[in-house]
Amino acid sequence: MPKLSYLCPLNILRALYLNLKFNKNVDLSRLILTNKDVELSLASSSKIVLEKGARLNFGFFTHIFSKRRNSKLILEEDASFVLTGKAMIQSGAMIFVGRGKTLKIGRSTFTSNIKILAHDDITIGDNCIFGWECQIFSGDGHPIYQEESIINKDVPVVIEDNVWVGSRALILKGVRVGKGSIVAAGAVVTKDVPPNCIVAGNPAKVVKENISWKE
């Protein structure tokens, strides 16, 4: 049963280590729980910040469509991973936060095997849901030069509260996804998404307005 994986001795030992490292003491209201399949690469000056009542469950598989996959969390020097409430990041996730940048995740946010590359800041609001194999990039990964000047600078990404992102959607740098919106499966989002609408396609365009959704 997936729930039993939380009780694995290795998971418990790792949880104690991470909570002592980042919280300085084991506070039952703020816990970092990772599966043994999660690879951690945490620079000495990086930070995982859990606000009161926050909890991170990372790398576990919790339903019949999940399966065990390797996961990875990379925090470079002075990078910050901030959680304001309980968050679930399932098995197969790959998260990278670049030097001096911040990834912030809100309350009651759920992701499957997401890929996040935070070359610049990425903020995800409360009550957001991400389907399988979603990707969020605040940079292109490699600089592009024209006459010795960089032409593809990194730009922050903001996903507001109550956003549902469908399977295999791609959200690119500089985008703000408005509160209450839905990003359809397979959409490639290259520009801002207004609140309470559905976007779909490549590039993503508004296909419905004045919508709401429930989990």
Active site residue ranges? 142
Rounded Cα gap, residues 205 and 184, in angstroms? 10
- Distance in angstroms (rounded) separating the CA atoms of residues 90 and 103: 17
Which amino acid is residue 214, in one-letter code? K
User: How does DSSP assign 148-196, residue by residue?
Assistant: TEESS----EEE-SS-EE-TT-EE-TT-EEPTT-EEPTT-EE-S-B-TT
Q: What's the one-letter identity of residue 120? A: D
